[in-house]
Amino acid sequence: MVEKLLRCIQCNQVIPLYGEFIDAGANAHLPGVVWGDDDLKIKEDFFHIHNGHPLEELTVDFDTYISDKPTFELIKVSYFEATNGRERFLIKRSRERFDQSAHYEIIPGKLKISNVACEILEEELRGQISNLNGSSQLTDEEVNYLIEALQEELKNIPPEELFQEIEIVEEAQTPLTLLATFKEKHWQNIIQRLQNYLRQQEFKRILDFLEKNRLLKENAPLFIQMEMSFLHS
C-alpha cells in the first residue's frame, strides 16, 4: 500500500514514492504494492522529466480514502488526501487494467462527502431479534414497538449532526456505505420512549430483552448511504 508520494513542486505532478509502502493487511482501503517493470519505468520517466525541479514528499492520509467501488476491487478510481505538513492535496488514483500500474494525479478542489440517507435496517433487525429470541421471547407486536421507537429516535437527529450522534461499526459494500449504531444516550431515549407508551409488562419484556442481548445495541441497526462531490477552489 502506498504510504507516501513524491511531488514535483514546479509541475504539481506526483508518483508513488517507490520503496515506501506498508503491509496491505494494516489497512484494507488501499491495495498492496508490488512494484513491477511498469512502475520502475514510471519512476525513471518522472525523474527524467523533472530533473532539476524541486521535489517533496507527501504523506497519505488513509482516513480520507473514498471510492464508490468495494475496497477489494483493484480496477477502480479512488480519492484521498496527502500532505506535505503545510498543505493538503486531493489525489486521484485510477487503475484501468490488471496489467497496468495505478496512475496518481493531483486534482483541484476538495472532496465533499454528503450524508444522503440513513435508515433502520428493519428486515435485518427483525432477523437478528428472531435469532436472539430465546429465554426472553418478544411478540411480533413488541418487536414492532421497538423498531418504531428506533425509527422515531432517528427522525429526531438532525442530518447535519448524524455523525456526532452515532458510532460507526464497519464499512458496508463500499467506503460510501456504512453500518452504524446509536450512541448510548440515544438508546436511553429509545428506552424512555418505550416506557412512556407501553404497558409496564410489555416495557419490562423489551427492556429485559435488550439487557440480555447487549450485542443487539452494539451491532449495526443503521445503514448510511453517502455520496461524494467536489468543491472547486
Given a cut of 50, is residue 22 above it in pLDDT?
no
Mean of all residue pLDDT scores within the chain: 86
Instruction: Render pLDDT for 170-214 as a digit per residue (tens, 0 to 9).
Output: 888 888 999 999 999 999 999 999 999 999 999 998 998 888 887
Given a cut of 50, is residue 28 above it in pLDDT?
no
Least reliable range by pLDDT among 37-41, 99-103, 155-159: 37-41
Share of the chain above pLDDT 70, in %: 90
Most confident of 14-23, 68-77, 213-222: 68-77
C-alpha cell of residue 38: 511498469
Most confident of 16-30, 58-72, 129-143, 147-161: 147-161
Confidence of residue 21 (pLDDT cuts 50, 70, 90): very low
Confidence of residue 72 (pLDDT cuts 50, 70, 90): confident
Given a cut of 50, is residue 29 above it in pLDDT?
no
Q: Which residues contact 45 (CB under 8 A, 6 or more apart)?
A: none
Given a cut of 80, is residue 30 above it in pLDDT?
no
Confidence of residue 138 (pLDDT cuts 50, 70, 90): confident
Residues 70-80, mean pLDDT to the nearest whole number: 89
Task: Please give the pLDDT value at position 10.
Answer: 97
Three-class secondary structure assignment of the chain: CECEEEEECCCCEEEECCCCECCHHHCCCCCCCCCCHHHHHHHHHHHHHCCCCCEEEEEEEEEEEEECCCCCCCCCEEEEEEECCCCEEEEEEECCCCCCCCEEEEECCEEEEEEEEEEECHHHHHHHHHHHCCCCCCCHHHHHHHHHHHHHHHHCCCHHHHHHHEEEEEECCCCCEEEEEECHHHHHHHHHHHHHHCCHHHHHHHHHHHHHCHHHHHCCCEEEEEEEEEECC
Task: Please give the pLDDT value at position 27.
Answer: 41
Task: Please give the pLDDT value at position 45.
Answer: 92
Least reliable range by pLDDT among 32-36, 86-90, 101-105, 171-175: 32-36
Given a cut of 70, is residue 162 above it in pLDDT?
yes
Task: Please give the pLDDT value at position 231.
Answer: 85
Q: Where are the domains of the chain?
A: 4-107, 115-227
